[in-house]
């Protein structure tokens, strides 16, 4: 285990690597971020936590209508989420968490008429800032897929069934 000392804190590198790069993973669901010499303890952050941070950070940007999953698997997961009222903050997000780095992929729907490159850059900056500030991980990539456009005028006005 490699260690880098900084003041009273020891940053510990654990054997959690990116599966995308084909490296072995000791525990693909969490990563040890730091080990404090003062408390002799360690901090572990689950990859699901990083996924939620990414999803929330993407939704904070004006121009993003929603973060969505894609494909048949996402449709089934979306239905199950609605039925069970499960947490949807990380829906449409996938993350890879390594020893000191993280990478994210996000699927979004953007409002029609707004610059897609500007929205994507704002999402990327916000995700990087939030993940680094909240976890201490260095974000090496934020891949963004714009899967659809949202047209507010196409939204059907909800009419009462009985008048």
Tell me if 31 is assigned to some domain.
no
Angle at 96 between CA 20 and CA 58, to 5 degrees: 130
Tell me if 159 is assigned to some domain.
no
Confidence (pLDDT) at 153: 83
Tell me if 127 is assigned to some domain.
yes
Q: Please state, for a pLDDT cut of 90, what percent of the chain lies above it.
A: 44
What contacts 141, CB < 8 A, 6 or more positions away?
A: 103, 104
Confidence label for 32 from pLDDT (cuts 50, 70 and 90): low
Give the range of the structural domain holding residue 115, as residue numbers without chain letter.
Answer: 47-154
Confidence (pLDDT) at 152: 84
Check residues 119 and 160 and name the one with the higher pLDDT.
Answer: 119
Asked whether the predicted pLDDT for residue 155 surpasses 80, the reply is no
Euclidean distance between CA atoms 109 and 104, whole angstroms: 17
The domain that holds 148 is classified in CATH as 3.30.70.1350
Largest CA distance in the chain: 71
If you average pLDDT over each of 15-19, 34-38, 69-73, which comes out highest?
34-38
The domain tally of the chain equals: 1
What pLDDT digit, counting tens, does each position of 45-69 carry?
A: 889 999 999 999 999 999 999 998 6
Confidence (pLDDT) at 83: 57
Confidence (pLDDT) at 30: 67
């Amino acid at each position: 285990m490699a260690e880098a000392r900084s003041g009273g804190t020891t940053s510990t590198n654990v054997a959690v690597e990116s599966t995308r790069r084909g490296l072995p993973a000791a525990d693909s669901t969490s990563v040890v971020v730091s080990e404090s010499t003062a408390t002799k303890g360690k901090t572990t952050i689950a990859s699901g936590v990083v996924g939620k941070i990414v999803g929330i950070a993407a939704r904070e940007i004006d121009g993003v209508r929603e973060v969505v999953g894609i494909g048949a698997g996402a449709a089934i997961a979306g239905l199950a989420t609605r039925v069970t009222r499960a947490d949807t903050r990380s829906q449409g997000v996938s993350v890879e968490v390594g020893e000191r780095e993280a990478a994210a992929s996000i699927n979004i729907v953007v409002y029609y008429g707004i610059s897609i490159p500007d929205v994507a850059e704002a999402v990327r900056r916000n995700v990087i800032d939030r993940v680094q500030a909240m976890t201490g991980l260095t974000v090496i990539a934020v891949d963004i897929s714009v899967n659809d456009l949202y047209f507010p005028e196409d939204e059907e006005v909800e009419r009462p069934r009985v008048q």
